[in-house]
Structures are given as C-alpha cells and as structure tokens.
C-alpha cells in the first residue's frame, strides 16, 4: 500500500481508469433491460457502455481517504446512481441512499454524473398501501432535493414500465401519484441548477406528462440538452400496441383510467413542443404507443442537423420527416449530418418512402440505417399504397420489413443498403455497416452502484 500511495494522484487516477475497461471481472451488476431497449444498439448516448469493475473500485474507496477521493470520482463518473422504486427487497437500501444524498452526506453528491430513477414496475403507479405506498410517495416528494444535491449530473434517466392493458379490463393507475411525479420531476429539473445536464432519457406514462415539461421547463435548461430520448409507457386502449392493431382489432381493449381522461393523441402536441424547445439536440429518439404525428413538430429555431434519429410507432408525411431530418427548408440533402437512423412501426400519411430513402442515399455521413414495419397510414393521401402483407428483404442479416404496394419503395431501400455497404467497405476494407443483429451492437452491460 505504501508503494501505491507513493505515486502522484494524477498517475493513480490513470491507473484506476483501467478498471473502467476491465472485461475479465465477472463481478458486475446489471439492471434489467428497458422496454425501450431497441434504441440501444443505435448509439449508447444515454447509457454507460463501460465494462466497469465496480467491485475493485468500491473496495479501493474503503482503503484510505486519498484513494477514496480518486476512486469515487471514477466510480460515480461512469456508473449510474440507481434509485429503485419498485424492488421490495431494496426499499431500505434505496431509502438510505436517498437520505444520504438529500442530507449531503454521500460521496455521490459531488461526483455523480448519471442518475437512474428505476420505476420499471407497474405497481409503482398503482394504488398501494403500507410501507410501499409510503416509500413511493416519499421518493416522489424528494426528487427535487435529490437533483439539487447532484450538481454535476450530466445524464438523467427515468424508467417506467410499459403498460399494454389487460384483456377486457381497464388498468387503474394512482392518478394523484402520477401527477405528483410529473410535477416534482419538472420542479427538480427546473430549479436544481444542473449546468452540466446534457442527456435526458425519459419514459413517462403519457403524452400529457411531456406537455407539463414543455410548459414548465425553462428554455435555458432545454437548450443544454444534446441527447433526448422520450418514450410513452401507457399503451392501453385502441391503437396503443401492435397486438391491438394487428391481431385484436375487434376485441374490447379498454383504456386505462389515465388514458380515459388524458388520451395520448389528444395531448401529443405537448410532446412535440418539448422536443422543439431542445434546439441543440444531436440525438433524438421518440418511442410512442398510439401513432403520434411528427408533422406537429414545429421548430422555433432551426436546430443543428441531427446525428442520431430513432422513431418508433409514429406517423408522418414525407415533408414532416424531411423537416425533422433536414430542418433547413432548402437545404441540400448532401449537407445532412445524420449518421444513424432507425424507423420502427412508422406510417406515412402523404408522400412515399422512396422519397425518404432517396434523400438518405445522398446523405454522405450516414453509416447505419434500419427499417422495421414501415407502411402507409390507412387514412391519408398515400393510403392507396398501403398493404397488410409484409414484404421482407434480407441483406447480410439486416431484417428490413416494408409494407408497400410500390416497387419504387423496395428498389430505393435496396439501393440505400448497397450504398451503405459500399461506404463501409471503402472505409474499413472489410465487413459492412452495423446491423442490429450484430452481437457487438446488442451486447451491453449497464452497471450500477449502491451507497
């Protein structure tokens, strides 16, 4: 130990960084996959990718004050601080962590860069009694204070379990707790003075929650956001899930008590208003339930060109997609900065997919594209191109699913992938573009720590 402590702190810091890429240690903690994990193989901008040896770094914190300071900075810079609101076995541990953070008694306070509020259990927003109810209400109430005590926070992630409904039953949420959560989250982000916050990864119950954020978050906060992931969790009621849309259209699929009073389609403008306030984003993901309309997005000021775009269960016109991917009205497609794009369960209301693919073909920076279940909306100018038969075309393990009566859609899509292959071969001399079935894209361990 004496020899180790003889080293200068700058060198010790570099030595300890080794444990952030240590792949041989099997002692890793992981969290369950988010229901919105599809985006994670596009680009890990919201998540820790490091195979961090949390056990060794934790032990180093216990040796002496000097190593504690160095190891803590590395540990909490790379890990998510996990506050779990659903694991019955860990209520006490989560409560202790919250108390330490709020009281300013934790090493996390001055070093944490990433915070995950893991509420991924349907029971969190259901009616409950006893200690679980007390703990959950207390967690909701303390969110602003938690964020205030983490001034170096760069990434805030909220996971909520998705809800597709129950056959012939209506899901019952605790509406008071749901409303309090959205309100306190907005207060926390607004007043915590998070000068370094640049990534928001938010799964919220309904579009009305994003409407609240759009209305209450200051412009100064939104302008700092570079990576934005928005997902809607409540997919109950008509049109909310693939199961309903494709297989059970004649089945009584009831909306939740939340959707009964605040339908996602009725409040969807609020979600797009929130996106529009984040004018400096380079990465955007929107994962919906009912097909929200991208055409409602109206940039107040034209943002920089997006680099990463993921859209899941939305509809748009070809012009609406053009404004999103190439914001400047007269911009040359060759100036597009898009690098990675994925469309899942998307519907066009007007125009053709061929127009979109053609623009992507002429995007020099594009190196990844994935399409799954692209189609045309049943109602719209392009409804005549709609077909219920899936046309699948495979190239090097990349599954592409386009439902269209137009040969031009399939031809331009094939040409797009040929161009991506040519780019990859010319740049690396081997291989091809990254595919969602590539193990390197899918494998991921997300560690977390407890205080």
Dihedral pair phi/psi, residue 200, rounded to 5°: -120, 125
- State the pLDDT at residue 25: 39
Look up residue 168 and give its two tokens.
């012939």
Q: What is the mean pLDDT of residues 67-74?
A: 77
* Cα dihedral: 81, 342, 382, 230 (round 10): 10
- Ranking 25-39, 88-102, 223-237 by mean pLDDT, the lowest is 25-39
pLDDT at 225 over 90: yes
Q: Which of 114-123, 253-262, 291-300 has the lowest mean pLDDT?
A: 114-123
Q: Is the pLDDT of residue 395 over 60?
A: no
Specify the 3-state DSSP secondary structure of 232.
strand
Distance (Å, rounded) from C-alpha 11 to C-alpha 16? 9
Q: What is the pLDDT of residues 405-423, one digit of tens each?
A: 888 888 888 899 888 888 8
pLDDT confidence tier of residue 126, bands split at 50, 70 and 90: confident
How many CB atoms lie under 10 A from the CB of residue 92?
A: 11
Confidence of residue 32 (pLDDT cuts 50, 70, 90): very low
Domain annotation covers residue 1: no
Confidence of residue 425 (pLDDT cuts 50, 70, 90): confident
Burial of residue 96, with CB atoms counted within 10 A of its CB: 0-12 exposed, 13-18 middle, 19 or more buried: middle
66 assigned to some structural domain: no
What's the pLDDT at 250? 54
> Is 428 within the bounds of a domain?
yes
pLDDT for position 414? 87
In a domain, 330, yes or no: no
More confident residue, 331 or 169: 169
Query: 220: burial class by Cβ within 10 Å (0-12, 13-18, 19+)?
Result: exposed
Residue 279 pLDDT exceeds 70: yes
Give the Cβ contact number of residue 230 at 10 Å. Answer: 24
Asked if 184 and 136 touch (Cβ cutoff 8 Å), the reply is no
The stretches of 362-444 forming alpha helices (DSSP H) are 407-428, 439-442
Radius of gyration of the chain (CA): 23
* d(C-alpha 391, C-alpha 307), whole Å: 29
Task: Check: CB of residue 336 under 8 Å from CB of residue 325.
Answer: yes
> Above 80 in pLDDT, residue 404?
yes
Please say if the pLDDT value at position 253 is more than 80: no
Total count of domains within the chain: 1
Is 68 domain-assigned?
Answer: no
Report the share of the chain in percent with pLDDT over 90.
27
- Assign 2 a pLDDT band (cuts: 50, 70, 90): low
Residues present in the chain in total: 451
**Least confident piece of the model among 2-6, 30-34, 343-347, 399-403:** 30-34
**Highest mean pLDDT: which range of 71-85, 271-285, 384-398, 414-428:** 271-285
Task: Work out the pLDDT band at 87, boundaries 50, 70, 90.
Answer: low
127-160 pLDDT tens trace: 777 777 888 888 899 999 989 988 888 999 988 8
Average pLDDT, the chain: 76
CATH number of the domain to which 149 belongs: 3.80.10
d(CA 108, CA 86): 22
Q: Residue 200: pLDDT above 80?
A: yes
Q: Is the pLDDT of residue 91 over 70?
A: no
* 64 within some domain: no
**pLDDT at position 117, please?**
85
| 308-317 vs 227-232, strand pairing mode | unpaired
Res. 50: pLDDT tops 90: no
pLDDT score, position 267: 95
Tell me: pLDDT of 297 over 80: yes
In a domain, 388, yes or no: yes
Specify if 155 maps to a domain.
yes
Whether this model's pTM surpasses 0.85: no
**How many angstroms separate the Cα of 244 from the Cα of each of 10, 112, 258, 388?**
58, 42, 18, 15
Higher pLDDT, 257 or 435: 257
Per-residue pLDDT reduced to its tens digit, 301-330: 666 678 899 999 999 999 999 888 876 655
Q: Which helix (H) or strand (E) holds 184?
A: helix 175-191
CA-based nearest residue to 217, from 176, 177, 179, 188? 188
Mean pLDDT of 47-73: 68
| Neighbour count for residue 216 (Cβ, 10 Å) | 15
Q: What's the whole-number mean pLDDT along residues 349-360?
A: 92
pLDDT at 357: 92
Q: What pLDDT, on a 0 to 100 scale, did the predictor assign at position 215?
A: 94
Look up the domain containing 136 and give its range.
35-50+82-324+335-449
CA dist 52 and 247 (Å) reads 43
pLDDT of 262 reads 92
Question: 3-class DSSP state for residue 64?
Answer: coil
- Cα(371)–Cα(49) distance, integer angstroms: 24
Of 27-41, 107-121, 133-147, the range with the highest mean pLDDT is: 133-147
Rounded average pLDDT over 264-293: 93
Question: How far apart are the C-alpha atoms of 93 and 100, rounded to whole Å?
Answer: 11
pLDDT on residue 88: 55
| Predicted pLDDT of residue 336 | 65
Instruction: Assign 44 a pLDDT band (cuts: 50, 70, 90).
Output: very low
Q: Which residues contact 159 (CB under 8 A, 6 or more apart)?
A: 34, 116, 117, 118, 119, 120, 203
pLDDT at 63: 80
Rounded CA separation 115/47 (Å): 10
Task: Report the share of the chain in percent with pLDDT over 70.
Answer: 71
Average pLDDT (161-170) is 67
């Amino acid at each position: 130990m004496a020899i180790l402590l003889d080293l200068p702190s700058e060198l010790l810091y570099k030595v300890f960084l080794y444990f952030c890429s240590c792949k041989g240690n099997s002692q890793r903690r992981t969290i369950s996959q988010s229901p919105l994990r599809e985006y994670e193989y596009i680009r890990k901008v919201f998540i820790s990718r490091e195979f961090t040896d949390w056990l060794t770094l934790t032990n180093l914190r216990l040796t002496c004050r000097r190593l504690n300071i160095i190891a803590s900075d590395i540990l909490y810079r790379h890990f998510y601080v996990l506050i779990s609101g659903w694991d019955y076995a860990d209520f006490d541990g989560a409560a202790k962590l919250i108390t330490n953070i709020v009281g300013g008694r934790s090493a996390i306070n001055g070093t944490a860069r990433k915070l995950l509020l893991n509420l991924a259990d349907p029971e969190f927003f259901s009616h409950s009694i006893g200690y679980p109810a007390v703990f959950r209400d207390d967690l909701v109430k303390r969110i602003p204070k938690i964020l205030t005590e983490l001034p170096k926070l760069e990434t805030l992630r909220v996971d909520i379990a998705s809800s597709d409904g129950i056959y012939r039953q209506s899901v019952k949420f605790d509406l008071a707790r749901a409303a309090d959560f959205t309100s306190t989250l907005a207060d926390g982000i607004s007043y915590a003075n998070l000068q370094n916050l640049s990534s928001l990864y938010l799964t919220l119950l309904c579009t009305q929650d994003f409407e609240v954020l759009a209305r209450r978050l200051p412009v100064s906060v939104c302008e700092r956001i570079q990576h934005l992931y928005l997902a809607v969790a409540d997919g109950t009621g008509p049109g909310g899930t693939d199961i309903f849309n494709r297989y059970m259209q004649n089945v009584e699929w009831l909306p939740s008590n939340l959707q009964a009073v605040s339908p996602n389609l009725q409040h969807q403008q609020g979600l797009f208003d929130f996106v529009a306030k984040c004018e400096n984003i380079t990465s955007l993901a929107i994962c919906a339930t009912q097909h929200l309309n991208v055409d409602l997005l109206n940039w107040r000021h034209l943002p920089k060109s997006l680099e990463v775009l993921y859209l899941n269960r939305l509809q748009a016109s070809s012009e609406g997609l053009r404004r999103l991917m190439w914001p400047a009205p007269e911009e040359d497609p060759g100036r597009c900065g898009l690098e990675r794009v994925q469309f899942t369960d998307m519907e066009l209301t007007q125009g053709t997919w061929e127009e979109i693919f053609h623009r992507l073909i002429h995007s020099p920076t594009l190196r990844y594209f994935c399409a799954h279940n692209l189609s045309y909306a049943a109602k719209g100018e392009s409804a005549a191109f709609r077909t219920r038969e899936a046309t699948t075309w495979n190239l090097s393990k990349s599954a592409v699913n386009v439902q269209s009566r137009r040969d031009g859609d399939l031809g331009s899509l094939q040409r797009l992938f040929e161009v991506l292959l040519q780019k990859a071969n010319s740049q690396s001399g081997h291989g091809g573009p990254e595919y969602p079935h590539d193990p390197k894209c899918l494998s991921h361990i997300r560690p977390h720590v407890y205080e």
